[in-house]
């Protein structure tokens, strides 16, 4: 067993913190101070990068837009201010020894800034140098305009081609992220997440105890309040230097660093309510089904319906609450800066206990009612504390450092739902139309007061720390090194007291499960860049680098049953003990060289190559090489470029590059798994074949070409960008189903086939109105994705590999991955009686393609209006379309004989036909329930009131803002289920269906920000 070098990292960190001795100041120095504001709103701009160009002294402006740079050598200098979304300004200053020089900046907003800094794998570059479309988001800006709860809130609708696909409204569950579609059939399609230069754990399915389908994403551990900026590196052409695993793109997150000036305290408080406002199906029953009326075998005299989720006596929904309180302090100078923050947050979901159940429990337990476990009344709750301490500065001349340390501890309580007979929503949605006490108010399998005894929690302690060194020993040579560790300790616990849930043989005895996992990601990243002035017009930038990455996962599980009453510990269990242990480790070593030539600082040509080796590659496969080429041309600065009206700048860009995705740690190996068996009445250990293995296994390889332009118009008030991409993934790592007749496992990873993703991405950012009183900004994002399985490969004899069928989601050449397939049907009310009989539904003999399971078109509009520099209103609308969703909830309800289409003569013919097709069809088909899932959603509506300084001066505060935000206010869709975004399978790769899932909820939040 290898140990990740935690001690080493701590040692480095402590050494750095202990070694923060200020560099001795020269007597011939002065200071530079000032403040930075938005020229239109006159609001201060925080986190602007202020830098003395020749000495590279500088830092970030504070929340009041102020900065202070000490120890600046006396004499003339250039002072530059760079900030995302604004034009860069550079001014000449002269610093006088022992004096303070004041320089103020009012920056004009720019829809497209070619000078803003982009953090790339080879260090910071100006946007004009980058040959790909990279989206930069300011976490500080977004968080200040609207309360955000997780990373998804920061990303949704903000970057064309980036889909944030949620699965439920369960508190604490995460989202899938898809950038430019899905490339892999069997491997993860999630992007790599890099925080402060190190890779972090971002598994969207980080839960070891099944609660029916929902998952926890480790991205949810990131605190948006700590995020300075996010860069979305979309595809292989941009992510080549990130190496194996970056084929799905990279999301690079930078946490806040210290700002220049005296200590600046900020506090914030947030509270809100969470409600379920979804439409839910009612349960139906009758004494004569519609198909029986239609064929004349009976007539209906009694029709009843009951909706246990909506009726006041039986609804399990309550109003959930959200609270968040945080404080941070930032300050420093060019020698040492700091950002320290702490936050506590808690959020309760909408599930609780119905009134009838609560009353019954009160009667049953009497005084002990209040001692019932939290899960009984509040089965979905998240509580989290986030701490961060970031330090940076200058160790010695030309050697800068940053140490960034974050710690998160959280407890998440999860309800049981989805594909789960022990779930609350399943019991209601598959219940009955009997709303009486005798009929359990319509609940089927179990009452909420029974399922809520299942107490499932996840405790997480997470440390993410990195140390970054930036060394410029010579004026042309710059080296960077980052070392860091992201370590998650996760404990999943299920506690079920004895004699409370009577299902199966074990649960009535009471059970206890404790699964403890440790997930470690260790990164070492180092590179050196040399700049050359080859000719007066041509410059060269060469970078060589290396990266070493270890991903380690260990988990130990323990289970026991027959729990002593009143005890909730494994110690108190007496039977059916089970233990398990898992260990996986993967290591990647990469080298790269990147070469850029610049002509007149307008035309940039880039070529790079990365070579990777990985512990998971097959024995018969060696290292892999990923190449990259790109060009960026600010053509509008060329002499020949005509003076076009309204045009400020035009940049053309194109890039081609490759990246990969690695197999799992043991996919190449042939091995057995141990198994406990009973032979001749004795329990012994045996082995059973685990995987057949494949010694030739190599990574999936994705290559991509993208081309586009960035156009700035109307004095930079309008920015328009358009990008086309064509991504091809070859040597797909497919879990090819093995012929079951081999009896050696379900499948085997092989490199086969090809997937293509093509699409357009369009972004339009506009300042529609700008006056001293009003500012109106509008941002539009539109993206398409055409996903196709081009080739599935061949069997050894040359025959094509058969389609891969996963229920109604298939993988078929010529169609999108995981598209929906089922038997089509037609229907006709031939006799015009308003009823669909079994004979009036004709089901085809063969399945047909019904549609993509992933949205193929995305559109979002974000707008904000600022009034009198005092009030800002904002809204985010999003459309997704071109896809379907399998409404298995309603199909299954028909199978249970409780759907409206089987009973209610007022049901539409469509409803009746699909109920008949799924229930009585021969073959039965869910085609009618695989519905168009296109939707428009008003994701967010908010208002912020910037309190006038005069009002808050008495408090000693320098800034204050009050924000009201509502989320998920409106959904427009033809989808007939509860919500077109739900997924029973949580964040699974391709399995997508609506099945008894808690849909997204509506939230209203009020937040106060104060700075001192």
Partner 1 sequence: MRTLLRRGSYLALSGALLCGAIACDTSDLLEVEDPDIVLPGNLTGPTGLATLRAGAIGDFAFAYAGNGGGTEGVVLMSGMFTDEYFHSGTFTTRREFDRREVKEDNGTATGVFRNLQRARQSLETAAATIQEAGGDERVGELLALAAVTYNLFGETYCSGVPFSNLDDAGNLVPGIPKTTAEVFQEAVSSADAALAGAAGDETIRNLASIQKGRALLNLGQYAEAAAAVASVPTDFNFQMTYSIDNGQENGIYAFNATFERWSLANLEGGNGLAYRDLNDPRVPWDRDPADDMGFDEVTPQYNMNKYPGRDAPADVATGTEARLIEAEAALNTGDVPTMLARINQVRALFGLGDVVDPGTPAGREDLLFNERALTLFATGHRLGDLRRLIRQYGRIEDDVFPIGTYHKAFPDYGNDVNFPVPFAEENNENFTGCLDRGA
Interaction residues for partner 1, span 776-835 (CB under 8 A):
795-797, 799, 801-802, 805, 807
Judged by CB under 8 A, the stretch of 223-231, 390-398, 608-616, 848-856 that binds partner 1 is: 608-616
Q: Which is nearer to partner 1, 461 or 613 (CB)?
A: 613
* 585: its two tokens: 């480790």
Q: Where are the beta strands (DSSP E) in 180-260?
A: 192-195, 198-199, 227-233, 250-255
Q: What is the Cα 839 distance to its own chain's centre?
A: 47
Q: How far is the CB of 952 from partner 1 (least distance, A)?
A: 52
Among 30, 197, 479, 484, binds partner 1 (CB under 8 A): 479
Supply the minimum distance, in Å, between the C-beta of residue 195 and partner 1: 23
From CA 201, how far away is CA 194, in angstroms rounded? 9
- For residues 838 and 295, the answer to whether their CB atoms sit within 8 Å is yes
DSSP 259: B
Instruction: Please check whether residue 115 is in contact with residue 133, taking contact to mean a CB–CB distance below 8 angstroms.
Output: no
Residue 920: count of CB within 10 angstroms of its CB: 17
C-alpha Rg value of the chain to the nearest Å: 30
Q: Which is nearer to partner 1, 365 or 672 (CB)?
A: 672
Residues that contact partner 1, how many (by CB under 8 A): 95
Q: Which residue from 585, 786, 829, 932 is in contact with partner 1, where contact means CB under 8 A?
A: 585
Q: Burial of 530 by CB count in 10 Å (0-12 exposed, 13-18 middle, 19+ buried)?
A: middle
Q: Is 538 a binder of partner 1 (CB under 8 A)?
A: no
**Minimum separation from the CB atom of position 714 to partner 1 (A):** 43
Choices 218-226, 389-397, 680-688, 986-994; region in contact with partner 1 by CB under 8 A: 680-688
- The encoded tokens of residue 834 equal 């308003």
Name which of 2 and 277 has its Cβ closer to partner 1: 2
501 touches 446 (CB < 8 A): yes
Tell me: does residue 1 bind partner 1 (CB under 8 A): yes
Q: Which 224-243 residues touch partner 1, going by CB under 8 A?
A: none
Interface residue with partner 1, options 100, 329, 567, 593 (CB under 8 A) = 593
Give the span between the Cα atoms of 889 and 428, in whole angstroms.
11
Cβ-in-10-Å burial (0-12, 13-18, 19+) of 98 comes to exposed
| Residue whose pair of structure tokens reads 């912020």 in the numeric block | 944
Non-local (6+) Cβ contacts of 693 within 8 A are 667, 668, 669, 670, 671, 748
**Which residues lie across from 757 on neighbouring strands?**
727, 787
Q: How far apart are CA 616 and CA 502, in angstroms?
A: 45
| Torsion sign over Cα 184, 186, 191, 192 | negative
Kindly tell me which residue out of 739, 771, 845, 956 binds partner 1, with binding defined by CB under 8 A: 739
**Nearer CB in complex with partner 1: 417/588:** 588
Distance CA 672, CA 755 (A): 32
Q: Give least dist CB 365 to partner 1, A.
A: 26
Q: How far is the CB of 747 from partner 1 (least distance, A)?
A: 9
CB of 687 to partner 1, least distance (A): 4
Reduced to 3 states (helix: H, G, I; strand: E, B; else coil), residue 888 is helix
Task: Give the Cα separation of 670 and 491 in Å (integer).
Answer: 31
Residues 876-895 that bind partner 1 (CB under 8 A): 892, 895
Query: Tokens for 385?
Result: 């504390």
Residues 376-415 that bind partner 1 (CB under 8 A): none
Q: By C-beta, is 264 or 691 nearer to partner 1?
A: 691
User: Which residues, listed in sequence order, are joined to residue 104 by a DSSP beta bridge?
Assistant: none
Please report whether residue 737 would count as binding partner 1 according to CB under 8 A.
yes
Q: Is 686 in the site for partner 1 (CB under 8 A)?
A: yes
Cα 699 to Cα 237, 264, 629: the distances in Å are: 17, 48, 21
In the list 303, 526, 861, 865, the residue contacting partner 1 (rule: CB under 8 A) is 526
Least distance (Å) between residue 417 CB and partner 1: 16
Choosing from 57, 527, 728, 968, the residue that interacts with partner 1 (CB under 8 A) is 527
Helix 888-895 vs helix 909-919: crossing angle, to nearest 10: 70
Nearer to partner 1, 744 or 969 (CB): 744
Task: Closer to partner 1 by CB, 46 or 561: give it.
Answer: 561
Which window, 194-202, 249-257, 574-582, 963-971, contacts partner 1 (CB under 8 A)? Answer: 574-582
Kindly list the distances between the CA atom of residue 624 and the CA atoms of 588, 614, 793, 795, in Å, as whole numbers in the listed order: 11, 9, 21, 25
Question: Is residue 842 part of the contact set for partner 1 (CB under 8 A)?
Answer: no
Contact stretch for partner 1 (CB under 8 A) within 37-45, 256-264, 607-615, 998-1006: 607-615
Least distance from partner 1 to the Cβ atom of residue 647, Å: 38
Q: Is 696 in the site for partner 1 (CB under 8 A)?
A: no
Contacts to partner 1 from residues 123-152, by CB under 8 A = none
* Binding span for partner 1 by CB under 8 A among 102-110, 173-181, 314-322, 476-484: 476-484
Site pattern 255..294 for partner 1 (x: CB under 8 A): ----------------------------------x-----
Strands 192-195 and 250-255: parallel
Q: Binding partner 1 by CB under 8 A: which of 209, 544, 570, 947?
A: 544
Q: Is 591 in the site for partner 1 (CB under 8 A)?
A: yes
* 720 strand-pairing partners: 711, 764
Helix residue ranges per DSSP H, 447-582: 448-451
Cβ neighbours around 564 below 10 Å, total: 14
Q: Which residues contact 58 (CB under 8 A, 6 or more apart)?
A: 49, 50, 51, 52, 69, 260, 334
Return the bridge partners of 343, or none. Answer: 326, 386
Q: Which is nearer to partner 1, 91 or 677 (CB)?
A: 677
Surface-to-core class of residue 635, CB atoms within 10 Å of its CB (0-12 exposed, 13-18 middle, 19+ buried): middle
Q: Specify whether the CB–CB gap between 343 and 385 falls below 8 A.
A: yes
Beta carbon nearer to partner 1, 262 or 583: 583
| x-or-dash string of contact with partner 1, 908-947, rule CB under 8 A | -----------xxxxxx-----------------------
Q: Residue 597 interacts with partner 1 (CB under 8 A)?
A: no
Residue 365, number of CB atoms within 10 A of its CB: 13
The verdict on 991 binding partner 1 (CB under 8 A) reads no
Among 736, 787, 997, 1009, binds partner 1 (CB under 8 A): 736
- The residue among 659 and 919 lying less far from partner 1, judged by its C-beta, is 919
The answer to whether 548 contacts partner 1 (rule: CB under 8 A) is yes
Helix, strand, or coil (residue 913)? helix
Site for partner 1, residues 500 to 519, rule: CB under 8 A: 504-505
For the chain, what is the total number of helices (H) and then of strands (E)?
A: 13, 52
Is position 746 an interface residue for partner 1 (rule: CB under 8 A)?
yes
Stretch that binds partner 1, among 56-64, 209-217, 610-618, 876-884 (CB under 8 A): 610-618
Non-local CB neighbours of 272 within 8 Å, separated by 6+ positions = 147, 321, 322, 323, 965, 1003, 1004, 1005, 1006
Interface pick for partner 1 out of 26, 28, 262, 583 (rule CB under 8 A) = 583
| Closest CB to partner 1 among residues 530, 564 | 530
Residues 411-440 that bind partner 1 (CB under 8 A): 421
Cα–Cα dist 536/601, whole Å: 11
Kindly state the smallest distance separating residue 998's Cβ from partner 1, in Å: 21
Considering beta carbons, is residue 461 or 585 the nearer one to partner 1? 585
Contact 762, 737 (CB under 8 A): no
User: Binding marks (x or -) toward partner 1, 335..364, rule CB under 8 A?
Assistant: ------------------------------
- Residue 584 interacts with partner 1 (CB under 8 A)? yes
């Amino acid at each position: 067993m290898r140990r990740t070098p935690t001690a080493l990292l701590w040692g480095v960190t402590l050494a750095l913190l202990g070694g923060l001795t200020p560099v001795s100041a020269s007597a011939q120095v002065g200071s530079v101070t000032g403040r930075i504001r938005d020229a239109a709103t006159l609001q201060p701009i925080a986190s602007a990068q202020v830098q003395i160009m020749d000495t590279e002294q500088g830092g970030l402006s504070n929340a009041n837009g102020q900065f202070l740079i000490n120890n600046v050598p006396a004499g003339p200098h250039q002072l530059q201010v760079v900030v995302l979304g604004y034009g860069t300004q550079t001014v000449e200053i002269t610093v006088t020894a022992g004096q303070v020089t004041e320089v103020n900046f009012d920056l004009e907003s720019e829809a497209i800034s070619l000078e803003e800094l982009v953090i790339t794998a080879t260090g910071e570059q100006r946007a004009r140098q980058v040959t790909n479309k990279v989206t930069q988001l300011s976490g500080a800006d977004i968080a200040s305009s609207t309360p955000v709860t997780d990373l998804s809130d920061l990303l949704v609708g903000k970057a064309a081609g980036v889909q944030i696909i949620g699965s439920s409204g369960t508190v604490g569950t995460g989202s899938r992220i898809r950038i430019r579609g899905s490339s892999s059939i069997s491997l993860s399609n999630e992007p790599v997440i890099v925080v402060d230069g190190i890779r972090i754990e971002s598994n969207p399915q980080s839960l070891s105890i099944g609660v029916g389908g929902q998952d926890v994403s480790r991205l949810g551990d990131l605190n948006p309040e700590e995020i300075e900026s996010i860069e979305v590196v979309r595809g292989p052409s941009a992510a080549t230097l990130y190496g194996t695993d970056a084929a799905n793109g990279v999301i690079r997150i930078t946490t806040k660093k210290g700002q220049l000036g005296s200590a600046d305290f900020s506090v914030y408080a947030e509270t809100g309510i969470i409600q379920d406002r979804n439409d839910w199906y009612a349960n139906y029953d009758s004494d004569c089904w519609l198909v029986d009326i239609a064929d004349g075998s009976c007539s209906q005299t009694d029709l009843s319906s009951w909706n246990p989720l909506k009726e006041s006596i039986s609804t399990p929904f309550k109003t959930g609450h959200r609270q968040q309180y945080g404080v941070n302090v930032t300050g420093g100078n060019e020698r040492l800066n700091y950002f320290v923050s702490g936050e506590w947050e808690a959020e309760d979901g909408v599930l609780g206990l119905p009134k009838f159940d609560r009353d019954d429990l009160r009667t049953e337990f009497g005084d002990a009612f209040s001692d019932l476990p939290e899960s009984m009344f509040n089965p979905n709750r998240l509580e989290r504390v986030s701490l961060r301490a970031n330090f940076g500065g200058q160790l010695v001349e030309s050697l800068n450092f940053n140490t960034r340390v974050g710690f998160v501890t959280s407890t998440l309580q999860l309800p049981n739902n989805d594909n789960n007979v022990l779930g609350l929503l399943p019991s209601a949605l598959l219940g009955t139309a009997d709303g009486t006490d005798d009929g359990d108010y319509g609940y089927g399998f179990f009452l909420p007061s029974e399922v809520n005894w299942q107490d499932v929690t996840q405790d997480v302690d997470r440390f993410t720390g990195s140390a970054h060194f930036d060394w410029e020993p010579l004026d042309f040579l710059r080296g960077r090194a980052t070392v860091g560790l992201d370590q998650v300790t996760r404990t999943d616990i299920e506690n079920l007291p004895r004699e409370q849930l009577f299902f199966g043989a074990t649960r009535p005895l009471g059970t206890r499960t404790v699964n403890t996992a440790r997930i470690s990601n260790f990164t070492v990243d180092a590179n050196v860049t040399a700049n050359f002035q080859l000719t007066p017009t041509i410059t060269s930038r060469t970078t060589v680098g290396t990266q070493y990455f270890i991903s380690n996962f260990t988990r130990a599980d323990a289970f026991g049953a027959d729990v002593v009453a009143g005890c909730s510990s494994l110690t108190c269990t007496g039977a059916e003990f089970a233990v398990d242990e898992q260990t996986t480790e993967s290591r990647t070593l990469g080298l790269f060289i990147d070469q850029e030539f610049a002509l007149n600082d307008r035309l940039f040509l880039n070529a790079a190559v990365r070579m990777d080796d990985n512990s998971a590659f097959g024995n018969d496969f060696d290292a892999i090489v990923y190449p990259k080429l790109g060009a960026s041309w600010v053509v509008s600065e060329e002499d020949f470029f005509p003076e076009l009206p309204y045009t400020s700048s035009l940049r053309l860009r194109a890039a081609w590059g490759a990246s990969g995705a690695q197999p799992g740690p043991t996919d190449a190996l042939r091995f057995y798994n141990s198994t406990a068996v009973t032979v001749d009445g004795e329990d012994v250990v045996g082995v059973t074949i685990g995987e057949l293995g494949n010694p030739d296994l190599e990574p999936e390889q994705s290559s991509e070409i993208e081309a586009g332009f960035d156009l700035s118009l109307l004095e930079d008030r309008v920015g328009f960008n358009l990008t086309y991409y064509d991504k091809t993934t070859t040597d797909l790592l497919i879990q090819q189903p093995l012929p079951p007749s081999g009896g050696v496992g379900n499948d085997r990873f092989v490199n086969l086939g090809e997937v293509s993703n093509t699409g357009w991405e369009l972004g339009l950012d506009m300042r529609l109105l700008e006056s001293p009183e009003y500012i109106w900004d509008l941002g539009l994002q539109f993206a398409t994705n055409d996903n196709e399985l081009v080739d599935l490969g061949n069997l050894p004899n040359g025959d094509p590999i058969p389609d891969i069928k996963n229920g109604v989601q298939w993988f078929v050449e010529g169609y999108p991955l995981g598209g929906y397939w089922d038997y089509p049907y037609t229907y006709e009310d031939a006799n015009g009686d308003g009823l669909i009989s079994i004979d009036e539904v004709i089901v085809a003999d063969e399945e047909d393609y019904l549609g993509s399971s992933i949205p193929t078109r995305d559109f979002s509009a974000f707008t904000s209006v600022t009034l009198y520099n005092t009030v800002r209103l904002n809204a985010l609308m999003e459309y997704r379309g071109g896809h379907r969703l399998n409404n298995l909830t309603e199909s299954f309800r028909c199978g249970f004989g409780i759907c409206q289409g089987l009973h209610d003569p007022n049901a539409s013919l469509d409803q009746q036909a699909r109920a008949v097709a799924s229930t009585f069809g021969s073959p039965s088909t869910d085609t009618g329930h695989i519905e168009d899932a296109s939707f428009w959603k008003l994701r967010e509506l908010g208002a912020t009131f910037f309190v006038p300084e005069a009002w808050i001066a008495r408090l000693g505060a320098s800034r204050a803002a009050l924000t009201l935000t509502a989320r998920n206010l409106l959904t427009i869709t033809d989808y007939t289920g509860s919500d077109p975004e739900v997924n029973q399978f949580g964040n699974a790769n391709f399995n997508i269906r609506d099945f008894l899932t808690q849909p997204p909820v509506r939230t209203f939040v009020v937040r106060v920000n104060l700075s001192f």
